[in-house]
Amino acid sequence: MTDIALSLGPVFFNWSPDRLRDFYARIADEADVDRVFVGEVVCGKRMPFNDPVWPDVVERLTQAGKTVILSTLALPSNIRDRKAVKALCEGGASIEINDLTAMPAMGAAPFAVGPFVNVYNEGAASFLANRGANLICLPVELPLSSVGTIARACPDVTFEVFAFGRLPLAVSGRCYHARLHGLHKDSCQFICDRDPDGLPVDTLDGQDFLAINGIQTLSHSLQVWSPSPEEAANLGVRSLRLSPHTLDMVAVSALYRRLCRGEASPQETRAKLRELPLPGALVDGFTRGIAGAAKAAS
């Protein structure tokens, strides 16, 4: 049986340069993950602040033996964003595309595909594989039955499933942090930096519901997919993606590593995760082909 790899996804939130530096230093030193996706994927306006951080972060992670992949914007919205995507794709590093804007610049180079690209079937997966995709993190709403069908049809591609974290549910041309605070996107004052795990959105009846992060809308709850090694292998899933939050991601990755090695059961893993200060409940409905907000088993 092939080992299940662990990936740390890109940070969705507007973390300060210092926070990013400290976070990745600890990941490099202590987190048992195989791959780390770094870079800004949500809002190009944040890039001038955080861009200076990445060379050091990449070097530190690489020296620690991690595979580092540069993740690109999910919704490049102006010429500056487009230039940033192009420069990254042509820069020779390993790249994850999150929008087909990146395709022309990738040329014949291999690339990873993030969950923002619509790969809903084996035809789309093999199309991208023929163009150089070697790793595909599938869209979050895709049920495992579809994941299995796609993965079995494209054995040369590493398929990754979004296994931990608030679910990225939507992106928009509009910035919701700005709208909530009576500002416009163009003069947003970068207030999304106040909510390092996203800003909770409740229903009128006070029920936890969603979280906003600039132009992005996430679930309030956290996705948890905690398969046994056999279940993942049977589906053809070779990698799990853990999405960064402010809680102890070293601890989260350690729990998933034990799970992937068969040293902890799915149930035990979920129980241990629930002991951490999670920003929301654990859900797994998408994996089961039902409402994504359906609670995960105990």
Q: Mask 93-112, x = binds another protein (CB under 8 A)?
A: ------xxxxxxx-------
Applying CB under 8 A, the span of 4-12, 40-48, 77-85, 263-271 interacting with another protein comes to: 77-85
Count of CB atoms situated within 10 Å of the CB of 286: 23
Closer residue to another protein in complex, CB, 158/219: 219
Tell me if 122 contacts another protein by CB under 8 A: yes
Closer residue to another protein in complex, CB, 17/132: 132
251 neighbors 278 (Cβ within 8 angstroms): no
Give the H or E element holding residue 20. helix 17-30
Provide DSSP, 235-255: HTEEEEEE---SS-HHHHHHH
CA atoms within 13 A on the CB side of 240: 31
Q: 210-229: which residues touch another protein (CB under 8 A)? A: 210, 212, 217, 219
Task: Work out which of 75, 161, 259, 296 binds another protein, going by CB under 8 A.
Answer: 75
Rounded Cα–Cα distance for residues 46 and 215 (Å)? 12
Tell me if 84 contacts another protein by CB under 8 A: no
Tell me if 162 contacts another protein by CB under 8 A: no
Task: Work out which of 186, 275, 277, 298 binds another protein, going by CB under 8 A.
Answer: 186
CA distances, 3 to each of 34, 55, 137, 228, 232 (Å): 11, 30, 17, 12, 10
Residue 37: φ, ψ to 5°:
-95, 125
Task: Work out which of 9, 10, 44, 76 binds another protein, going by CB under 8 A.
Answer: 76
Task: Work out which of 10, 114, 279, 285 binds another protein, going by CB under 8 A.
Answer: 285
Task: Work out which of 13, 23, 116, 256 binds another protein, going by CB under 8 A.
Answer: 116
Min CB(202)–another protein separation in Å: 5
94 neighbors 69 (Cβ within 8 angstroms): yes
Task: Work out which of 26, 80, 184, 261 binds another protein, going by CB under 8 A.
Answer: 184
Closer residue to another protein in complex, CB, 6/139: 139
Q: 226-255: which residues touch another protein (CB under 8 A)? A: none
Provide DSSP, 69-132: EEE--SS--SHHHHHHHHHHHTSSS-EEESSGGGHHHHTT--EEE-TTS---SHHHHHHHHHTT
Min CB(184)–another protein separation in Å: 6
The 10 Å CB-count burial string (b at 16+, else e) for 197-232 is bbbebeeeeeebbbbbbbbbbbbbbbbbbbbbbeeb
Tell me if 87 contacts another protein by CB under 8 A: no
Applying CB under 8 A, the span of 6-14, 69-77, 245-253, 259-267 interacting with another protein comes to: 69-77
